[in-house]
Amino acid sequence: QVQLVESGGGLVQPWGSLKLSCAASRYIFSIYVMGWYRQAPGKQRELVAQVTSGGTKNYADSVKGRFTISRDGAVNTVYLQMNSLKPEDTAVYYCNAGGYDGSWGQGTQVTVSS
């Protein structure tokens, strides 16, 4: 198990940007996959972006070209840079370590609205 703490959510206008952070309790490069998921009201939780221990990155089609996942081993933190935000990006964003059956953060709300 790894403890995860997200931060950086908030209210932003359409086409704005936010950067989410996920601080992990242990060395993130030893975790085979870390990612960001999101869940909008009335919808299932969906994968947004993930990065493997080897550095391979995957993105949901809906965020390709707008969102970027990155990581910093010196501070055991994974980031999600979100640009050109749309109202449909509104959701609670969760950090994950180890896949869907792994560890989860508490979530951070992202609201995109004018």
Q: Could you tell me the maximum CA-CA distance found in the chain, to the nearest angstrom? A: 40
Q: What is the pLDDT of residue 1?
A: 85
What would the pLDDT profile of 60-106 be if each residue is shown by its tens digit? 999 999 999 999 999 999 999 999 999 999 999 999 999 989 999 99
Check: CB of residue 34 under 8 Å from CB of residue 50. yes
Q: Who's near 79: CB < 8 A, 6+ residues apart?
A: 19, 20, 21, 22, 69, 70, 71, 72
Q: What is the pLDDT of residue 94?
A: 98
Q: What is the pLDDT of residue 28?
A: 85
Given a cut of 90, whether residue 109 has pLDDT beyond it is: yes
